[in-house]
Amino acid sequence: MFGLVAAEPIQVRELLRDAPRSLRTLSTEHPDGWGVALRTTNDWLVHKSIECAARSPRYDELADQVATPLLVAHVRQKTVGETRIVNTHPFRRGAFVFAHNGTVRAVAALVARTSPVRLAEIEGETDSERLFAFILTHVDRAGDVERGLAAAVAELHAVTDLGSATFLVSSGERLYAHRLGRSLFTLVRGGARRTAAAMVASERLTDEAWVEVPDRALIAIDVARAAMLLPRAA
């Protein structure tokens, strides 16, 4: 799982394909499909496949050509739900895209706390899509993305035997990352010859000094500033 925010559109083939632990490399361990959500001027383009990214010409072509200021990407190792496009991350609902690492055990508890409107949007079988619906329910109630995410995360932390809920979510203005139960790391790049960019990933994708996100933290990355905000213990 990988997310990126940059001050202007940048090429992403290094992290998607060429880095020592790129998503393409990781897909040999997570072979059950891939997805990449790219931000355009005011919309998302979401590309998905049920192929392993390492064996997908379409993935290689996309990685080679894409330049974007905001991206959410995922390679899947299925635990809940068959290998189908509707079960492949990132998921999209309107302005929001979402990707998840881990397995949520307490799915029934989340469903009980999710609005009928958001439950009706679910297309596949995954725990991940139900987690997304739960989060959007709280955003809807709050009428604000950041307050809604904070409320959702606080409630997640109160659920007994929840499982793993490490995720990325964006509405196109900021990228948010939450760590619970699975690893998560951040990296900020910049300098005179490099476009300012901030990244978050489930593993250290390069040999640079990635910083581990504390468990149970919620991180916000501002698109305009392309800088990591302080971890927010939810």
Tell me the pLDDT tens digit for each residue of 19-51.
989 999 999 999 999 999 999 988 999 999 999
Mean pLDDT for all residues in the chain:
92
Instruction: Read off the amino acid at residue 184.
Output: L
Q: What is the CA radius of gyration of the chain?
A: 16
**Does 228 score more than 70 pLDDT?**
no
Lowest-confidence region among 48-57, 121-130, 193-202: 193-202
Structural element, H or E, at residue 8: strand 2-11
Select 2-233's CATH number: 3.40.250.10, 3.90.1150.10, 3.60.20.10, 3.10.129.10: 3.60.20.10
Model-wide pTM > 0.85: yes
- Looking only at the bridges linking them, the beta strands covering 211-212 and 185-189 are antiparallel
**Does 91 score more than 60 pLDDT?**
yes
**pLDDT value at residue 194:** 82
**Alpha-carbon span 54 to 17, nearest angstrom:** 9
**pLDDT value at residue 64:** 95
**CA nearest to 104, candidates 40, 180, 43, 204:** 180
CB 60 within 8 A of CB 17: yes
Domain range summary for the chain, segments of one domain joined by +: 2-233
**Residue in this structure with the two tokens 């409320």, named with its chain if needed:** 151
**Alpha-carbon span 56 to 33, nearest angstrom:** 10
Tokens of 86: 């509707």
User: What tens digit of pLDDT does each residue of 101-149 get?
Assistant: 999 999 999 999 999 999 999 999 999 999 999 999 999 999 999 999 9
Give me the half-sphere count of Cα atoms (radius 13 Å) on the Cβ side of residue 52: 10
**Does 166 score more than 60 pLDDT?**
yes
